[in-house]
Amino acid sequence: MELRKRLRQAAVADKYSFHMPGHKGRFPALFGNYDTTEIPGLDNLHCPEDVLCRAQERVAGIYQAARTYFLVNGSSVGIMSAITALTRAGDGVLAARNCHKSVLAGLIHSGAMPVWIEQTLCPRLRHWLPPSPAAVKELIAKHAIKAAIFTNPDYYGLTPDIAALAQVCREAGIAVIVDEAHGAHLQWGQAIGLPQSAVAAAGCDVIVQSPHKTLPALTQAAWMHITDLALGEKLQETLNLFHTTSPSYLLLSSLEYAACWANSHGAAMLRRLKILADMLYLRCKQLNLDFPATLPYRDWTKFLLPNRRGLEGLLRSQGMFPELIQGDKVLFMLTMADALVPQGIAALYRLLPLIAALPARPEEEILPPPLPKQEISPREAWARPGKKVPIAKAKGQISRQVLAPYPPGTMVVAPGQRLEQEHIDYLHKLHARKVIPQWLEVI
Ligand SMILES: Cc1ncc(COP(=O)(O)O)c(C=O)c1O
């Protein structure tokens, strides 16, 4: 059994986890002998009336949501369902250009037309800054918009002013969906400088979170909160369309566990984590290793280091696995599990001087061009026959495919966008860095 063998090897090598899942293997109670699905005595995820219903209500109570739905296919299924439930073919949907690929899946299903929000690049992080309320207001004035989807926070911890964005949309009668896949923990961090969760910001209708990323829940376990019960039936119906008919009770019970555990211990754990993280940030400053910790609206649990030559090997030699090493950045995810068992952070702290001594890794900066023009809806493009062409031959053509390299699954090209020379040049550079393949499917 090669897969099992490989898993065993990976578990031994991965001594200090700085990546998802948020439990980091520190919660054995999650892995009991409970792998079952909907047998008598349990409940029905598609129409919960018994134990699942009560567990969902418990979590809704903890987050002060009108209703919470458990998800067994990550935030991805929640985002797809929310877009599909709230929009129809031809409706305008506001979305940031660096949205997660599940937004595209939702748009393809619903037939809605994306209105992309251009974003500015952060000069230090070289990553997209979150959309501003002013930019959103301007687009709303120009386009007929039915719904908006915002990410809060993104993969690197950057957050928009979600309350202000929601207010702008609310004034225009636009439904607000929030991809808070990376924000299930924010609830307990208000007092220690974590950004605001959309659940607490007035005007957000649907908030999708992945506790498996930041809380002690099993991989893929996620939930979706709504703030207005009037949306309940439509969302349940759409989720039922997308969800597996064999939901894992291991995943479902881990959701109840994560919420209840975080409700009891989350605030204290995050306070402890903040002390540990502050030590890391301070040491980095002393060593001139600090990345953009000073950016406003950033979730400090996403700890970033500048990439150095030999850094990956050094981390591996210590059994240390970050969430992402890409270009000039290395991302470490700190979670409540690191506060519970702080050996990983201590090991990283001890390693910082060695990391600082590694040679810099000069790299040509790849600046993304303005977004390609959205000529037709993602669904229209998806429905057309496509042909695979080398990147160079895609000039002037309309993309059929979603180009969203993983990790982190952030959109680069959407179906229905026409690619001009500047986009081709950009894609060539990404290919040279092995971020994307050499081929592209166009219509
Ligand atoms: C910003 C963002 N949204 C949504 C998702 C999808 O979440 P999940 O993996 O739980 O489906 C991800 C995954 O990494 C993400 O980074």
pLDDT band at 298; cut points 50, 70, 90:
confident
Express each pLDDT in 213-223 by its tens digit: 999 999 999 99
The pLDDT assigned to 290 comes to: 78
Report the pLDDT averaged over residues 108-113.
Answer: 97
Cα(292)–Cα(302) distance, integer angstroms: 11
Grade residue 36 by pLDDT with cuts at 50, 70 and 90: confident
Q: What's the N-to-C CA distance of the chain in angstroms? A: 42
User: Distance between CA atoms of 280 and 289, rounded to whole angstroms?
Assistant: 10
Q: What percent of the chain has pLDDT over 90?
A: 78
Judge whether residue 308 has pLDDT over 70: yes
Per-residue pLDDT tens for 351-369?
999 999 999 887 777 888 8
Q: Are 441 and 401 in contact (CB under 8 A)?
A: yes
Of 2-6, 62-66, 255-259, give the lowest mean pLDDT range.
2-6
Ligand 1 center–CA 83 separation, angstroms: 15
As a whole number of Å, the CA-based R_g of the chain is 22
**247 alpha carbon – ligand 1 mean position (Å):** 19
- Look at ligand 1, atom 1, and give the residue with the nearest C-alpha: 154
Of 80, 99, 100, the one to substitute when testing ligand 1's pocket (max ligand atoms within 8 A of C-beta) is: 100
Lookup: tokens for 405: 């390299």
pLDDT for 294: 53
Q: How far is CA 152 from the centre of its chain?
A: 8
What spacing in Å lies between the alpha carbon of 102 and ligand 1's midpoint? 8
The β-bridge partners of 208 are 179, 224
The atom of ligand 1 lying closest to the CA of 73 is 11
User: Of the residues 20, 69, 72, 76, which should be mutated to test ligand 1's pocket, given the most ligand atoms within 8 Å of the CB?
Assistant: 76
Residues with CB under 6 A from ligand 1: 74-76, 100, 102, 151, 154-155, 179, 181-182, 210, 222, 408-409
Domain ranges of the chain: 10-19+266-356, 34-261, 373-442
Cα 314 → chain centroid: 27
State the pLDDT at residue 6.
84
Residue 406 has pLDDT above 90, yes or no: no
Q: How confident is the model at residue 127 (pLDDT cuts 50, 70, 90)?
A: confident
Class of the CATH-defined domain 10-19+266-356? alpha beta
Tell me the CA–centroid distance for residue 181 and ligand 1, in Å: 5
Q: How far is CA 304 from the centre of its chain?
A: 16
Fold: same for 10-19+266-356 and 34-261: no
- Stronger pLDDT, 41 or 150, i.e. the higher one: 150
79 CA closest ligand 1 atom index: 4
In this predicted structure, the answer to whether residue 376 has a pLDDT above a threshold of 70 is yes
Ligand 1 atom having least distance to the Cα of 99:
1
CATH of the domain spanning 373-442, picked from 3.10.20.740, 3.40.640.10, 3.40.50.300, 3.90.100.10: 3.90.100.10
Mean pLDDT for all residues in the chain? 93
More confident residue, 326 or 60: 60
Give the residue-averaged pLDDT of 109-134: 90
pTM of the model: 0.94
Considering the domain delimited by 34-261, tell me its CATH architecture.
3-Layer(aba) Sandwich (3.40)
Cβ-based neighbours of 433, under 8 Å, separated by 6 or more: 327, 366
| DSSP one-letter code for 398 | B
- CA 224 – ligand 1 centroid, Å: 13
pLDDT > 80? residue 136: yes
In this prediction, residue 11 carries a pLDDT of 84
Higher pLDDT residue, 247 or 293? 247
pLDDT tens, position by position, 145-186? 999 999 999 999 999 999 999 999 999 999 999 999 999 999
Q: Is the pLDDT of residue 293 over 60?
A: no
The tokens of 349 are what? 């702290």
Contacting residues for 429 by C-beta, under 8 A, at least 6 apart: 364, 366
Q: Ligand 1, closest atom to CA 213?
A: 10
